[in-house]
Amino acid sequence: MSDLFAFNGAQGAGYAQPKPISEAFTIPVDLQRSKLPRWPRASEPEIVRHYTWLSTRSHGIDSGFYPLGSCTMKHNPRVNERIVQMPGMNDLHALAPASHLQGLMAIFHEMQEMLAHCAGMDTVTLQPVAGAQGEFTAMRCIQEYHREIGQSNRDKVIVPDSAHGTNPASAAMCGYDIIEIPSLENGRLDLDALRAVVGDDTAAMMVTNPSTLGIFEPEIAEASEIVHAAGGQMYYDGANFNAILGKTNPGLMGFDAVHYNLHKTFSQPHGGGGPGAGPIGVKEHLSDYLPAPLVVADEDEEGEIWFDWYSPPKSIGKVQQWHGNSGATVRAWAFYRRYGCDLEKMSEHAVLNANYLRHRIMNPSQEVLNQIHAMPIDGAPADVVKHEFTLSMTPVKDVTGVTGKDMAKRLLDYGYMAPTLYFPMIVPECLMFEPTETESKDAIDQFADDFLHILTEDPELVKTAPHDTPVKRVDEVWAARNLILRHPCDGE
163 to 182, contacts with another protein by CB under 8 A?
164-166, 168-176, 178
Query: Which residues are paired to 123 by β-bridges?
Result: 282
Binding to another protein (CB under 8 A): which residues in 410-469? 412, 417-418, 420-421, 423, 437-441, 443, 464, 466, 469
Binding to another protein (CB under 8 A): which residues in 315-334? 316-328, 330, 334
Contact indicator for 289, 145 with CB cutoff of 8 Å = yes
Q: Which of 337, 428, 460, 491 binds another protein (CB under 8 A)?
A: 337
- Is the CB of 179 or the CB of 377 nearer to another protein? 179
Q: What is the three-class DSSP state of 179?
A: strand
Query: Which residues are paired to 206 by β-bridges?
Result: 235
Q: Which of 162, 202, 265, 355 binds another protein (CB under 8 A)?
A: 355
Q: Does 408 engage in binding with another protein (CB under 8 A)?
A: yes
Measure the CA dihedral 400/406/411/416, to 10°: 160
Binding to another protein (CB under 8 A): which residues in 189-208? none
Interatomic CA distance for residues 243 and 238, integer angstroms: 10
Query: Burial level of 173, CB count in 10 A (0-12/13-18/19+)?
Result: middle
Q: How many residues bind another protein (CB under 8 A)?
A: 203
Binding to another protein (CB under 8 A): which residues in 55-84? 55-63, 66, 68, 71, 73, 75-77, 79, 81-84
What sign for the dihedral angle of Cα 124, 110, 237, 253?
Answer: positive
Q: Which of 301, 313, 478, 490 binds another protein (CB under 8 A)?
A: 478
Binding to another protein (CB under 8 A): which residues in 6-35? 11-15, 17-34
Q: Which of 199, 381, 401, 470 binds another protein (CB under 8 A)?
A: 470
Q: What is the three-class DSSP state of 124?
A: strand
Per DSSP, helices labelled H in 91-187 are 102-119, 131-148, 166-173
Interatomic CA distance for residues 198 and 156, integer angstroms: 9
Contact indicator for 267, 75 with CB cutoff of 8 Å = yes
- Is the CB of 58 or the CB of 153 nearer to another protein? 58
Question: Smallest distance, Å, CB 450 to another protein?
Answer: 15
Q: What is the three-class DSSP state of 456?
A: helix
Q: What is the three-class DSSP state of 309?
A: strand
Question: Smallest distance, Å, CB 216 to another protein?
Answer: 5
Q: Which of 115, 130, 393, 432 binds another protein (CB under 8 A)?
A: 130
Q: Which of 192, 366, 484, 490 binds another protein (CB under 8 A)?
A: 484
Binding to another protein (CB under 8 A): which residues in 269-298? 269-276, 278
